[in-house]
Amino acid sequence: TVLGLHKRDSDYFTGSSREFMLNLRVDDLDGVLADLAKQGITPVRTFPPEPNGKFAHIPGPDGMTIELWEPAAEDPYDPGP
């Protein structure tokens, strides 16, 4: 579990009517975004790749934004299946 805090005047939550978001880890961000596009879901925001990986925001229920995250590398602390 990660709690990521942002300043009140941060634009990180642009497009969301909520003060929090759900973050989902994905294996293939480009593939997930392509599948969502086929269903008519357009990202609210995409970000350039960074050391932590790739990120995109998509619209969620009740005005919430959902963040999709593809890690840059395998998590050494993830025990796997």
Using one digit for the tens of pLDDT, what is the confidence trace for 15-47?
Answer: 777 777 888 999 999 999 999 999 999 999 999
Q: Which pLDDT band, with edges at 50, 70 and 90, does 67 fall under?
A: very high
Residues paired with 55 in a beta bridge: 69
Whole-number pLDDT of residue 63: 83
Helices (H), 1-81: 29-38
Residue 22 makes CB contacts below 8 A (sequence gap 6+) with 60, 64, 66, 67
pTM of this prediction? 0.78
pLDDT of residue 1: 55
Kindly tell me if the per-residue pLDDT of 74 is higher than 80: no
Q: What is the pLDDT of residue 54?
A: 94
